[in-house]
Amino acid sequence: MNENGLTEEQKTEYYRRSYTTVDGLWFMKIEERLGFDLALKIDEAVWSILPKIQARTLKGMMNLDDGISDLQRALSVRLVMEGYEFKMERKDDALEVVVRKCPWHQIMVRSGRGSLSERVSDVICRVENGTWAREFSLGSRGDGKSRGDDEGGDDEGIVFERDARLCRGEEKCRLWFRKKCETGRQDKS
């Protein structure tokens, strides 16, 4: 406990709940005025930027660099803070993340919007995790592009794929972060 009577865990929970609540509230207010499809497009624009900020912040706080190992460390912290139940496993030059409980999907189900969860996931999970992958790509310049994209270097980017999803009624989400040269699997979403 500190001077305000709250533990660090209570403060963390307060901010986590505020973060998830504001995300849902702003979406629903935009949806009321402009419709679901436009609200989702705006949400996609937000979630293409926020993960850059999150990834760069954790990179700085944790003294991380590019690559799958440091991506694993940062994603683990992020997923714990957001309330996911998951496990991670390195497989050669790839990272598999198996999510058994997704707080975002649970919020949609509890709010009676579970039928929309898959549509939201089609866009938001893809763009969010894809952004995290790019932010940890080897040679990232901080703008999500590899130096190899326009400076003649080797492209050692990381890509995001998934082949199972809770929002489709499956028992888990299975997310993959792989070196571009290791890909060959397709997002079966």
Q: How far is CA 67 from CA 16, 52, 108, 133, in A?
A: 27, 15, 33, 9
As given in the structure block, the two tokens for residue 39 are 């609200």
Quickly name the fold that domain 8-182 has: Muramoyl-pentapeptide Carboxypeptidase; domain 2 (3.30.1380)
**What was the pLDDT predicted at 124?**
96
Q: CA quadruple 142, 144, 145, 146: dihedral positive or negative?
A: positive
**What was the pLDDT predicted at 154?**
41
**What was the pLDDT predicted at 188?**
44
How confident is the model over 16-34, as a mean pLDDT? 92
CA 95/CA 97 separation, integer angstroms: 6
**What was the pLDDT predicted at 4?**
79
Res. 33 pLDDT band, cuts 50 70 90: very high
51: CB partners within 8 A, 6+ apart:
128, 129, 131, 132, 135
Q: What is the mean pLDDT of the chain?
A: 87
**What was the pLDDT predicted at 140?**
61
Residue 84: is its pLDDT beyond 50? Answer: yes
The pTM of the full predicted model, rounded to 2 decimals, is 0.83
Backbone angles phi, psi at 99, to 5 degrees: -105, 120
As given in the structure block, the two tokens for residue 158 are 């990381």
**What was the pLDDT predicted at 189?**
46
pLDDT tens digit sequence for 177-186: 998 864 454 4
How confident is the model over 5-26, as a mean pLDDT? 90
Rounded (10°) CA dihedral 56, 163, 176, 102 = 50
Q: What share of the chain is helix, strand, coil (3-state, %, to 5)?
A: 55, 15, 25
As given in the structure block, the two tokens for residue 177 are 């972060």
How confident is the model over 10-16, as a mean pLDDT? 90
How is the chain split into domains, by residue range?
8-182
**What was the pLDDT predicted at 92?**
86
CA 129/CA 175 separation, integer angstroms: 9
CA 64/CA 74 separation, integer angstroms: 8
Helix axes 8-34, 36-47, angle to 10 degrees: 140
Q: Could you write out the three-class secondary structure of 52-107?
A: HHHHHHHHHHHCCCCCHHHHHHHHHHHHHHHCCEEEEEEECCEEEEEEEECHHHHH
